[in-house]
Amino acid sequence: MTYTQLLNRAIALLDEQGPEAAYQLMKTEGFEVEYANQAQIYNFAYCFAALSGHIDEALGLMKEALYQKGFWYDYDYLMEDEDLEELRRDPSFETMAKLCQERQQAAQAAAKPQLVQENVQPAKPFLLILHGDQQNPQMTAPYWQSAKELDYGLAFAQSSQIQVSDGYLWDDEQQAAEEIQQHWETLKQQGTDVDNSILCGFSSGGRAAFYAAVTGAVQPKGLILVAPWLPELEEWTEDLSKLKAAGTKVYICCGDMDEDCFEGSEALFEILDDNGIDVQFKLCPELEHDYPEDFDRILQEAVRFVNE
């Protein structure tokens, strides 16, 4: 089970069977999942424990996350979320919340755009890849390795917008576009083949990638969007002139059970196709909001499509 599958399953259990089932799933499998944000695993675990009435266990998990692991959580979330109402009655909760606030302020003050590179070489193209919501390059990198077999370097961008320990966002799309542009220029200055390079993203990273391309902040040869979250789609596709001028090809991959992203992905395909932009839509049956199991193959298919 992948990290995203775990979260999807836990939320489904919460809806279908209640918080106790979701809590037991987190206890038995949550801490065994690879490429996970451990801070978020703890967050789900203590929330489900609290909702199940296991108040002491919930507080214990929260204390372990803060005092042993060094994690922190958004202060406003801790003070306002309904799931934590019972925990806020305990005197120790306020102390923990204030500690999170201090760590959050320090993390936000220190946050800056990061670029993690693998096999990026002069005169060779690269994939610039954007992580999903509350994720980071370390969680993202394992999914994109098969592009190396096609002689592409991999560059993983980390947003400067941080919401939780090791969890980053692309919520401010203009700020995200500026950071993507900076990374693109950095890679260009390294002598890479930017003219044949591809901008990629998963979920909210797909949203940020599309915005950067459609506004002309960067002009990649292709876009590879995996389960892209596109709430402003109609607004952002009113003017496709910059995307068309760049000749950017777009490859969209999404599951038909992705409640948040399937409709937007399908609509984006239709809009781009109607406007004469070279686009391909890979529909993944019975897939929720996640990478498909055969993404290694799909990624190579997407890269080849961009290069046709």
What would the pLDDT profile of 46-80 be if each residue is shown by its tens digit? 999 999 999 999 999 999 999 999 999 999 999 99
Residue 1 has pLDDT above 90, yes or no: no
CATH number of 114-307: 3.40.50.1820
What is the value of pTM for the model shown? 0.94
Over residues 284-293, the mean pLDDT reads 95
What is the pLDDT, as a whole number, of residue 279?
A: 98
What would the pLDDT profile of 232-243 be if each residue is shown by its tens digit? 999 999 999 999
Q: What is the mean pLDDT of the chain?
A: 96
pLDDT band at 11 (very low <50, low <70, confident <90, very high): very high
What would the pLDDT profile of 82-131 be if each residue is shown by its tens digit? 999 999 999 999 999 999 999 999 999 999 999 999 999 999 999 999 99
Residue 34 has pLDDT above 90, yes or no: no
For residues 13 and 23, give the distance between their C-alpha atoms in angstroms, rounded to a whole number: 9
What is the pLDDT, as a whole number, of residue 2?
A: 86
